[in-house]
Amino acid sequence: MSEDWRKDFEEERDRFNKTVISSDHLDIQAYTGGALDVRTKKLMGLASSAVRS
């Protein structure tokens, strides 16, 4: 991992987000506010990604 891991992480995340958002298979409503706020949903996604790794 490079010394500037945050920059690497953010670039990778941005690239991935663009790929996912451009996909026809994404349910955009999954990350809109509702019963759970957007921040909570993103944190749950991050936690589940960490558990899978």
Which one has a higher pLDDT value, 29 or 41?
41
pTM exceeds cut of 0.85: no
**What mean pLDDT is predicted for residues 39-47?**
87
Exposure on the CB side of residue 49, measured as CA atoms within 13 A: 7
Domain ranges of the chain: 5-52
The helix or strand, by DSSP H or E, that contains position 52, with its residue range, turns out to be helix 38-52
Whole-angstrom distance, CA of residue 25 vs CA of residue 50: 22
Mean pLDDT (the chain) is 79
